[in-house]
Each structure stands twice: as structure tokens, then as C-alpha cells.
Amino acid sequence: MRVLRIASVVGASLFAGACTEVIATGAQDARDDVAPTGSSGTPSTIAPTTIAPPPEPTTTPPASSSTTITTTTTTTTEPPLAVYDPACVVQVQPGDSLGGIATERADEIVTITAIQAENALVDDLVVPDQLLDVCIDNGLDDITGEQRLERNAAVVAAETFLSVANQQTKLNELLSPYGFPEMPVDGESGPVTRRGLCAARLALGLPVNRSDMEPGSVEEQLLLDSTTLPIPPNVATDGRWIFIDLTCQVMLTGEGFDRLVHVFPTSTGEAGYETRLQERTRAFRFNPALNNGGWHESSIYPVADDNPLNGNMYKPLYFDRGQAIHGANNVPTSPQSKGCARLRPSHQDALVGWLGLDGPTSSRDRINATVTVRGAYELG
């Protein structure tokens, strides 16, 4: 038993020496790995040491090289035109035309003719770099800043055209119910339109003349606002009346003070043969010329043999010696008779029918109508 104990001790010493030898270079670490003995002297169980593998080397990919390109945009600003109002001036570019420039403005007043008038152009040709004033009819030359003394002729013409057309429409509305021939609504004023305007002025109590009616004027507004044609002031009288106005070259008829019957164009005596002024003169004779289709041949001013029906006075109604109201094939807008008042044959028929005359008579009472002639025709 003693021998065995010695052997055990010797074995233990050898084991301990071997351990010390192996970890001679790390004695402290070895001691840390040896479990402490218990109180009975029996060594504790030594847990195996796990050595973690070294970490995998981390490879950091090289930063990708990127190239930043900086783009610089250069904006070229056209310098403003050296004009009074650049917003109202266009500088012509290659390929431009007046029509294209007018369309780009998107303004109904800016037309080719308006641009021509505003810039005193004689045609519609333009060239590059040419300056055009496109603010139409604003009273300024927008290139130089100078004030314009006259309105744009094209704008005035357009306004006048529309105004005249409106006047013609209204004149037809007011006059045609009384037999006045309808005039063309063409926006062009002429002798026929002026005669109608004169008749309207007469009826509306305005100064009587054959001038054009100014667009936007007070008298134009009064005309356009009218819905009926009144009897002219100081014209009507009791009974049936006939009124001839030399200024307007029109004839009106009516009954009493509240009924207008006819408004007819007439042509009175020319210079040297003027129709004499009258104030409620009673018509005294009617000649229907029944044996010649209503056409009476004047004994003082006969006509050529080739005149239709060889007569020049259709159903004449006399009011002052040889002066009469009669039908004629030619009723111009100016005085051209030898003293009588001409009417169209259809208008003479309407007049005679209104008077109820169907046969010749020299009875004032039978005719029962007065004739008044006023005014004076002036050339121009």
C-alpha cells in the first residue's frame, strides 16, 4: 500500500511537470486553465477551451470612381428694342409677313390694313429688322413716342362700315313699311342712304340735311333707338295732306295728326325750274290719261318719240298751275325735273289709290288733299 502511494505521488509529479513544461511560455495562462482542487483533494473537471477562429479578413471594395459633369447653360437675352414702347413694337424677322404678325396679336382690331395704316405702308411687303407699330389707334407712334394727330384710317373705315350698315338696316326697318324702297345693306353710304337719313332726320325732328351720320353720334343713337317713324313736326294737318321736302327729296302723305301713310323718294325741279314752295295748297286737277295707259305728254316739255308710251307724266296730280305730282321712269336722288315732283309709277298708283281717284277730275273737293312744299336742295 505504501508503494502504491509513492507511485501515485510520483505519477502525479510527472504529470504536473509535463504540464509545466508544455506551457512554460505561458505559465499564467496555464494556471488559469487548471481547475482548483476541492476540499477532498480531488481535481475539478476542466472545461474544454474553445478558441474562436480568427475573423475573416474584411475586404472593403474600392470606392467607385464617379465623374461629375457640370453643365453650364448660357441664356441669351435679347436687349429691348430702342423704341418708345417695346410692348407695342414688332421687329420683323426673316420669313415674317403682315398677315402672320396680325394673327399673332390675336386682336380683331389688328388687321393687315390696320397695320399698314398705322405704319404708313403703301403695300403689305415687310423686310427683316423693320419696326412695326402694332398697338393700333392708341393715339401714339409707339416707335418714336410722338402723338398721332389723326386716327388710324383703317380702323375708322371699319367702324364707319359697321355704322353705315347698322344705319341702313334701321332705315329699312323704319321707312319700308311706308313704301320707301329698301336700300342695300352694304356699309357704303351714298345718295340713296343719305336720302333715307335725311328723311329720318325730318321725321325725328333733327336738323334736316343729307350728310352722312357720324358713327357714335347723338343723332345716330336716336335713329338706332327708334322703333317707329313719327310724323314730322309741323307737317300734319286736318284731312289728307301731302308734304314734299326739297332738301331730302322725299314725299310724305298722311291723314290728320296721327297717321303717316306714305314715304316716297321724289325728284323735284332742277336749278332754274325749281318746284315752288307751298303751304297747304289744295290739289286741283287729276289727269289719269286713260287713253294712253296713264301717260300724259307735257305740252311744254314734250319727250322724244321713242319714249315708252310717248308720254312723260304718269297720272299727273296738279297743285300749282302746271306743276304736278306725277309718275316717271327716272326718279334720281337729286332735282332733275322741270318743276314737277316725280314719283315712281308704282308710287303714283299708290298715291292715286289712297286718294280714291279713278277718273279725271278738276274738283278740289273731290281730290280733297293739300300740298306743302318746303326746304331747299343744296349741292354737295
Task: Classify domain 86-151 by CATH architecture.
Answer: Roll (3.10)
Which residue ranges make up each domain of the chain?
86-151, 162-225, 240-374
Exposure string of 223-243, with b = 16+ CB inside 10 Å and e = fewer, is beeeeebebbeebbbeebbbb
Average pLDDT, integer, range 36-63: 50
Please check the confidence at residue 188 and state whether its pLDDT lies above 50: yes
Asked, colleague to colleague, whether 86-151 and 240-374 share their fold, the answer is no
For the ranges 271-285, 305-319, 347-361, the lowest mean pLDDT is seen at: 305-319
Please check the confidence at residue 158 and state whether its pLDDT lies above 50: yes
Q: Is 354 exposed, middle or buried (0-12, 13-18, 19+ CB in 10 A)?
A: middle
Give the pLDDT confidence score for residue 304 in this predicted structure: 62
* Distance, CA of 352 to CA of 35 (rounded, Å): 158
Give the pLDDT confidence score for residue 40 in this predicted structure: 45
* Distance, CA of 119 to CA of 241 (rounded, Å): 57
The CATH number of 240-374 is 2.40.440.10
Mean pLDDT of the chain: 84
Average pLDDT, integer, range 164-180: 98
pLDDT (tens digit per residue) in 89-116: 999 999 999 999 999 988 889 999 999 9
Q: What share of the chain is helix, strand, coil (3-state, %, to 5)?
A: 30, 15, 50
pLDDT (tens digit per residue) in 228-261: 999 999 999 999 999 999 999 999 999 999 999 9
pTM here?
A: 0.72
pLDDT (tens digit per residue) in 302-322: 666 545 555 689 999 999 999
Please check the confidence at residue 368 and state whether its pLDDT lies above 70: yes
